Amino acid sequence: RVPKEKPKAGPGPAPKPRQGPTDEAQMAAAAALARMELKPKAKLPSSQEAIKNQVRKELMAEAAASEKGFSVAEKDLASPDKEGAAAPSVSGVYFICPLSGAVVRKDKKEEHIREAIQSYFSVDPVAASIMEIHTFNKDREKVRVGVETMAKYLDNIYLHPEEEKYRKIKLQNKVFQERISCLEGIHRFFQAIGFETKTLPVPGQGKKDSNPVLLVVETTEEYYVLKEEMLTRLEDLKDYKEQLLSSEPVRAQLDRQLCVFKPSPEAARFELPNDFYNLTAEEIKREQRLRTEAAEKASMLRTRAMREKEEQREMRKYNYTLVRVRFPDGYILQGTFYARESVSVLYNFVREALRDDWLPFELLGPGGLKLTDENLAFNECGLVPSALLTLAWDAAVMADIQASGEEQPASPLKPELLSRVQTLS
């Protein structure tokens, strides 16, 4: 038998063309990029700002003179603006040195800061030694006690310059040994502010010699003694004390490694380096294997309390997170964040990438869940070690913009970011 022909479908209504992003939405999204470059950075504490600016200027000058700045190789590695297709994620976690401005990988960060401070001794040994004290002594309470004790020594000299006893500090003094001498950088600070080491007799501490002609053999001790010339520069000593008290540790700033990608079906795929984990590579592999083997069993047996406890454990495994934000036109904004930073930092990051940063928007997590509480940390929202979010504009504002009839830019992102857009491979 000849099979019956299926009835042909009627013409029916033509499918509606898919609505692209409105001009208003695109214009809104394009506002934060131009401001990003112009926006002033957070002001440093006044006592440190001049020092850090001077450090940066000196190191940059040295780099130019030698045609070889700090960690140029690392900076090239960190730069995402390479021609051709970009890597799907990132090559590592990078930091910006506040002294030299160089971008260095996480495992080179401490070494680079030490080199930067060391280089500055030839320019300003007092500032450099103060940075050493605050940066390389990790016990903040010990630093506080030591610095306050040192400030008292300098106060006594400043207030009683005629008293010789205040200009001498015995190195074997118990207080000096326990509070000051143990701090890295403190001895270079003494030398920088005008003290010198001298061996002096200890008054009233001598012993009789067996020879009656020689009455006493003097006992000596090591002292820091302020140079006489510093008595004419007492105001400098006061300034050094204020610097010592008000300074903060030199800390590298996390480099966001901002990238913009073209629309891609690979947006949800992340391949992260070990830098993002708080475990060694071997521990990570073992953890993944055990989790895979036990997943089915555990899902049946775990109580809610057990699941919550495990989630807390998971949160502590990650120090950083890589976040991508997909715009309505498909373009993707990517940045690196601390896992314990608040979501408000992400909102600011996105806002600074827009042409018009005043436009209201929301960020939606997996499953369309709105990230409304900006005070929560990334790890508290389950956005570690990576996450793909979606940006949604405020519908009412977009309708008003569309009704105004003004021509809107093609993309909401800043032109300078779009000029170096990359492709996810």
Q: Is residue 27 part of a domain?
A: no
**Residue 415 φ then ψ, to 5°:** -60, -35
In this prediction, residue 51 has a pLDDT band, given cuts at 50, 70 and 90, of low
pLDDT score of 44 more than 50: no
Residue 78 located in a structural domain: no
* pLDDT for the residue 27: 42
Query: Tokens at residue 261, please?
Result: 């990608």
Give the integer Cα–Cα distance in Å for 111 and 108.
5
Buried b (16+ CB within 10 A) or exposed e, 201-221: eeeeeeeeeeeeeeeeeeeee
User: Is 245 a member of any domain?
Assistant: yes
Count the Cβ atoms, other than its own, within 10 Å of residue 284.
15
Banded pLDDT at 43 (limits 50, 70, 90): very low
Q: Which of 61-65, 139-143, 289-293 has the highest mean pLDDT?
A: 139-143
Percent of the chain at pLDDT above 90? 55
Same domain, 99 and 234: yes
State whether 240 and 352 are in the same domain: no
pLDDT of the residue at 398: 87
Residues 6 or more apart whose Cβ sits within 8 Å of residue 108: 71, 74
pLDDT at 129 over 80: yes
What is the pLDDT confidence band of residue 273, given thresholds at 50, 70 and 90?
confident
Same domain, 120 and 202: yes
Q: Does residue 21 have a pLDDT over 50?
A: no
Residue 374 and residue 249 in one domain: no
Say whether pLDDT at 313 is over 60. Answer: no
Q: Which pLDDT does position 275 carry in this prediction?
A: 85
Instruction: Identify residue 320 by its one-letter amino acid code.
Output: Y
Mean pLDDT across the chain? 79
Residue 28 lies inside a defined structural domain of this protein: no
pLDDT of amino acid 276: 85
Contact of 234 with 241, CB cutoff 8 Å: no
Q: What integer is the mean pLDDT of 123-138?
A: 96
Residues 282 and 225 in one domain: no
What pLDDT, on the 0 to 100 scale, is given for residue 50? 58
Give me the pLDDT at residue 289, please.
67
Clarify whether residues 381 and 411 are in a common domain.
Answer: yes
> What average pLDDT does this structure show over 236-250?
96
Distance CA 200, CA 213 (A): 23
More confident residue, 143 or 209: 143
Whether 281 and 240 share a structural domain: no
With respect to residue 303, please indicate whether it lies within any of the assigned structural domains: no
**Nearest by Cα to 224 from 154, 273, 283:** 154
- pLDDT for the residue 31: 40
In a domain, 346, yes or no: yes
Q: What is the pLDDT, as a whole number, of residue 409?
A: 80
SS3 of the chain: the string is: CCCCCCCCCCCCCCCCCCCCCCHHHHHHHCEHHHHHHHCCCCCCCHHHHHHHHHHHHHHHHHHHHHCCCCCHHHHHHHCCCCCCCECCCCCCCEEECCCCCCEEEHHHHHHHHHHHHHHHCCCCHHHHHHHHHHHHCCCHHHHHHHHHHHHHHHHHHHHCCCCHHHHEEECCCHHHHHHHCCCCCHHHHHHHCCEEEEEEEEEEEEEECCCCCCCEEEEEEEEEEECHHHHHCHHHHHHHHHHHHHCCCCCCEECCCCEEECCCCCCCCCCCCHHHECCCHHHHHHHHHHHHHHHHHHHHHCCHHHHHHHHHHHHCCECEEEEEEECCCCCEEEEEEECCCEHHHHHHHHHCCEEECCCCEEEECHHHCECCCCCCECHHHCCCCEEEEEEEECHHHHHHHHHHCCCCCCCCECHHHHCCCECEC
CATH number at residue 103: 1.20.58.2190
At 47 the pLDDT is 47
Q: Is residue 398 part of a domain?
A: yes
* Residue 160 domain flag: yes
Residue 162 above 60 pLDDT?
yes
Average pLDDT over residues 113-140: 95
Q: Which domain holds residue 400?
A: 274-286+315-423
**Confidence band of 321 (pLDDT split at 50, 70, 90):** very high
Q: Which two tokens stand for residue 365?
A: 């997590």
Number of domains into which the chain is organized: 2
In the chain, the percentage of residues whose pLDDT exceeds 70 is 66
Note the pLDDT tens digit of each residue in 388-419: 999 999 999 888 888 888 777 888 999 999 99
Among the listed ranges 59-68, 143-152, 327-336, which one has the minimum average pLDDT value? 59-68
Both 238 and 282 in one domain: the answer is: no
Q: Which two tokens stand for residue 214?
A: 């020689």
Above 80 in pLDDT, residue 140? yes
**Whether 246 and 320 share a structural domain:** no
Residue 115 has pLDDT above 90, yes or no: yes
Whether residue 340 is found in the same domain as residue 221: no
pLDDT computed for residue 228 by the predictor: 93
What CATH number has the domain bearing residue 358?
3.10.20.90
Query: What is the pLDDT averaged over residues 122-140?
Result: 95
**Beta-sheet pairing, 259-261 with 361-364:** unpaired
**Out of 55-59, 116-120, 385-389, which region has the weakest mean confidence (pLDDT)?**
55-59
Q: Say if residue 134 is in the same domain as residue 247.
A: yes
Average pLDDT estimate for 329-353: 96
Domain check: are 223 and 281 in the same one?
no
Is the omega angle on the peptide bond into residue 40 within 30 degrees of 0, that is, cis? no
Specify the pLDDT at position 82. 41
